[in-house]
Amino acid sequence: MATPWYCMDMPNYSPPLRSANGPGIPCVDDSLFEPLARAASTSGIDLAAVLRDVQSLRPGNDDEPAPVLVSDYFRLLGKLADLTSEETVRMSRRPLLPGAFHFVMSQAAGSKRFDGMLRKFANGFNLLHGRVYNHVMTQGDRLIYAVDNKDFPTPFELTDRQFHSFLECIVILMHTLFGICAGAEIDSYLLKVTTKRRLRDSRKNAGNRLNQLAYWGVPTAYGSRNYALIYDYSVAALPVKMQPGDLPRPNAVFGEVARLIESNLRVSPANVPIVDRVVDLILTQTVSANELALQLNLSARTLRRRLAESNTSFQEVRRKALNARAKRLLSQDLLAGEVAEELDYSDERSFRRAFIRWNGISPSKWHAGS
């Protein structure tokens, strides 16, 4: 049987952007706020004022807008849903009345097994949206929940970057809702997430901080045909423990999502060794020392001093991180030329020379022996 179009993806993988329990707290892509502001304004709502209220308990520079944490993004959606009395916060021409998310969760929470729960989620949201945007399928030893945004009725045109960011946050939301309804830890069953965003676009638009894709502690497949959560099939038989009466109140769903996300981000960057923070960033993108210092809110000089205090240097940490990243990509069956492009080498030959210098053998020999 041919693989359905909505569960196919391109063989373009990245290493995990960050562990959910690792250093650094991801923020949502700034591009999201222009369409959100437009949608909020149709109800006479000042998005900037609502966002300031959401972030009021967070330390930051009063003179500049602080980056918006993934968790605060969902708190923002919760406030906007209350203010607009509509749970798509005016981002769809087909509005969802207050309590819509809770209704779908209540239907799903009555399931016996996790796979049945996913199907109730998909059917419920498809019913509310009036079209099949959510799919549940099995593919070998994988259980997949996929979201297709084709012809989604946004009230105005979104750029590709905005649509990618919007749907990538939806995938985070769905995974968290699944965990709430299952009443169990499901992160360990997650194998991979997919996005339609191309890898080059992700790196070009990353800016000076990690975006929502950095939430995941599993590989991300770019350039896919959908936005999906891919689980090990063993999760299918997981009993659903939550009953409808145990769910968060309808107006507390987004707040509970934010709380659970923060519980996965419980490591404070300030308490993480500087070397680990540098490695974490280099594993997500190829950056210079100055760019990396900016992402850590340090001067380049301070970064060099902090690394020297740990008896290392940026060049040494970068070498080890790139080598680890190269090996991870090779182990995922990427060709040497693809790895070279991912690591920002000018050509495959330059990458091969570097790999041999690091390991004493060529990439192909390392892959054959791994």
DSSP 46-82: -HHHHHHHHTTTS---TTSPPPPBHHHHHHHHHHHHH
- Cα 152 from Cα 239, distance rounded (Å): 33
- Cα 125 from Cα 164, distance rounded (Å): 19
Sign of the Cα torsion 174, 177, 181, 184 reads: positive
Q: Write out the two tokens for 227.
A: 């936005």
Global pTM exceeds 0.95? no
* Model pLDDT, residue 169: 96
Q: Write out the two tokens for 357.
A: 């210098």
pLDDT, tens digit, 9 for 90 and up, residues 272-304: 567 777 776 676 555 678 877 776 667 888 888
Check: CB of residue 366 under 8 Å from CB of residue 329: no
Domains and CATH numbers, the chain: 5-264 (no CATH), 273-369 (1.10.10.60)
* Sole residue written with tokens 């009953």: 243
C-alpha pair distances (Å), 225 with each of 8, 11, 125, 146, 175: 6, 11, 20, 10, 19
Q: Indicate the pairing of strand 190-194 with strand 220-221.
A: parallel
Q: Which amino acid is at 174?
A: M
C-alpha pair distances (Å), 211 with each of 30, 105, 257, 262: 9, 27, 18, 15
- Cα 321 from Cα 283, distance rounded (Å): 6
* Model pLDDT, residue 310: 86
Phi, psi of 113 (to 5 degrees): -125, 160
pLDDT, tens digit, 9 for 90 and up, residues 30-83: 899 999 999 999 999 999 999 988 886 555 444 445 688 898 999 999 999 999
Residue 78, number of CB atoms within 10 A of its CB:
21
* Model pLDDT, residue 283: 62
Check: CB of residue 175 under 8 Å from CB of residue 207: no
Q: Write out the two tokens for 99.
A: 């309590």
C-alpha pair distances (Å), 152 with each of 91, 116, 139, 370: 10, 25, 25, 44
* Helix ranges restricted to H, 183-273: 199-204, 253-264
Tell me: pLDDT of 270 over 60.
no
Tell me: pLDDT of 322 over 60.
yes
Tell me: pLDDT of 19 over 70.
no
